[in-house]
Amino acid sequence: MDRTIIPIASGKGGVGKSFLAANLAIALAQLGKKVVVADLDFGGSNLHTCLGLHNNHPGIGDFLRARYGELKDLLVATEEENLKLLAGDVRSPFLANMHHAQKMRLIYNLKQLDCEYLILDLGSGSTYNTLDYFGMSQLGMIITTPEHTSTMNMLAFLKLFAFRVIERSLPKNTFLNEKLRESYNRSVMEEVLTVRGLLDEISTIDSDVAQNAEQNWIRYRPRIIFNKCKMPDELDILPALENTLDQNLLLRCDFFGCLFSDPAVSITFQQRKTLNTVSPNCDILEDINLLADRINRLWKQPIANSANLLQNNAVKLFEKRRV
Ligand SMILES: Nc1ncnc2c1ncn2[C@@H]1O[C@H](COP(=O)(O)OP(=O)(O)OP(=O)(O)O)[C@@H](O)[C@H]1O
Ligand SMILES: [Mg+2]
C-alpha cells in the first residue's frame, strides 16, 4: 500500500498539534483513506482525548517494554471505520528519553503499519528523539501560530533539525564529529552558527562529506500550517519568513494551510469528545476538511508560490464567513 507518513511537530508547545493530528486523521478517514494516528508525545500523551477515547489502551510503552509483538496488535478502533489509534503511554516514566535502539525499533515498526496515511502527533521541543520522528518523512508538517514567539520557535526547531540531518550524514567516529561538537559549543560572544556556517566548517575538513550532507538536507521540504489565526493579514509575515528559511536554513518549505481560531476547539477539549460530535457545523471543521482535501491532492508535490496562494485562500475564507 502506498503509505504517506505525516509527522506533526512544532517548536512551541500548545499550538494545536494533537488537535490537528486527531481531526485531520478523522477527515482523511472520512475521505475513504485507511488512516493510523499515533501518539508519540511520550510523557504528554493526550491524543486519545481529541478522539473522544479513554486512556485505557496498551500503547507504545507496552510495545517497547515487552520487546516482542507487533504494533499492529495495539491499534485501537475509533468512531471512524477507517481510522485506528496507536496510543502513547502515560504509565512508563521517562519514555520520552527512550534509548537509541528502542527508538530505531519503534521507527522500523511504525513504517510497517498497513495504512495509507500514518499521522504522528509529536511532543513539542527539539529532543533528538522528536527530531528523528520528524525525519521519518522528507515532507513533515510543522505547526505554528502567526505570533512572533511561535514562528521563532519553529525556526529554532528547523535549525536543530538541519543540524541533526547534517550530523547523521557524517561518517561515524571521526574527527568531524568532534569538530561538530566544538561548533555547537560556541560562546555567546561568537557569531551564531547557521546551517551554511556549519556546512562551511565541515567543508574545510572534507568537502565531499559537506556536499553530501547538504544534498541530504535540501531533500527535506516541510509543510507549514498556521493555526489559531484571527485575521488573514497575520499571514503578511510569509514573504519575510520564506526569505529567512531560504537564507538562514537553506530550506524550501510549502505554506500549506491556515486554520482560524475557533471557540469550538476548547469545547472539544473540555468535553473530551470529537469536533464532529461537539460542533459539526463549526468553521474550524471546514478548515480541517479543506486541509485534508489539499493533502489528498497535493501532499507529494512541491507547491509553487505557496505563500501567495495561502494568503489569498485565507482572505477568501475570512470574507466568506464575514457576510
Ligand atoms: N484553532 C484553534 N482555535 C482555538 N483554540 C485552539 C485551536 N487549536 C488549538 N486550540 C487550543 O490550544 C490548546 C492546545 O492544543 P493542543 O493540545 O492540540 O496543542 P499541542 O501543540 O498538541 O500541545 P502540546 O505541545 O502540549 O502537546 C487547546 O487548549 C486547544 O483548545
Ligand atoms: Mg499535544
Does the pLDDT of residue 207 top 80, yes or no? yes
Average pLDDT over residues 51-61: 88
Cα–Cα distances (Å) from 168 to 133, 161, 185, 217, in that order, read 14, 11, 18, 10
Among 112-116, 167-171, 285-289, the minimum mean pLDDT is found in 167-171
Predicted confidence at residue 148, as pLDDT, reads 96
* pLDDT of the residue at 173: 63
The band of 193, judged by pLDDT with boundaries at 50, 70 and 90, is: confident
For the segment 296-307, the average pLDDT, to the nearest whole number, is: 95
pLDDT in tens, 239-292: 999 999 999 999 999 999 999 999 999 999 999 999 999 999 999 999 999 999
As a whole number, the mean pLDDT across the chain is 92
- Higher-confidence residue of 191 and 41: namely 41
Say how far apart CA 66 and CA 86 lie, in whole Å. Answer: 16
Residue identified by cell 564529529 is 177
Q: Give whole-number Cα distances, 38 to 25, 57, 102, 128, in Å.
A: 10, 13, 16, 18
Q: How far, in Å, is the centroid of ligand 2 from the Cα of 157? A: 16
The atom of ligand 1 lying closest to the CA of 50 is 18
For the cut 80, the answer to whether the pLDDT of residue 174 exceeds it is no
pLDDT of residue 175: 74
| Nearest ligand 1 atom to alpha carbon 263 | 4
Give residue 69's pLDDT band: very low, low, confident or very high (50, 70, 90). confident
95-113 per-position pLDDT tens digit: 778 889 999 999 999 999 9
Question: Which of 84-93, 110-119, 191-200 has the highest average model confidence (pLDDT)?
Answer: 110-119
- Quickly state the pLDDT bin for 144 (edges 50, 70, 90): very high
CA angle 225, 228, 233 (to 5 degrees): 80
Stronger pLDDT, 118 or 186, i.e. the higher one = 118
Contact (CB, 8 A) for 41 and 123 = yes
Nearest-CA residue for atom 6 of ligand 1: 265
* First-to-last C-alpha distance (Å) of the chain: 44
In 3-state terms, what secondary structure has residue 22?
Answer: helix
Show the ligand 1 pocket: residues with CB < 6 angstroms: 10, 13-19, 41, 44, 124, 227-228, 259, 261-262, 265-266, 269, 284
Check whether 316 has a pLDDT greater than 90. yes
Residue of 265, 284, 321 to test ligand 1 pocket, by largest number of atoms within 8 Å of CB: 265
Query: Span 4-322: which CATH code?
Result: 3.40.50.300
pLDDT at 80: 96
pLDDT, mean of residues 11-21? 96
pLDDT at 90 over 70: no
Average pLDDT of 75-102? 87
> How confident is the model at residue 176, as a pLDDT?
77
**Residues 45 and 307 sit within 8 Å (Cβ to Cβ):** no
Mean pLDDT computed over 69-73: 89
Residue whose CA is closest, atom 29 of ligand 1? 266
With pLDDT > 70 as the criterion, what percentage of the chain qualifies?
98
What is the 168 CA–ligand 1 centroid distance (Å)?
A: 32
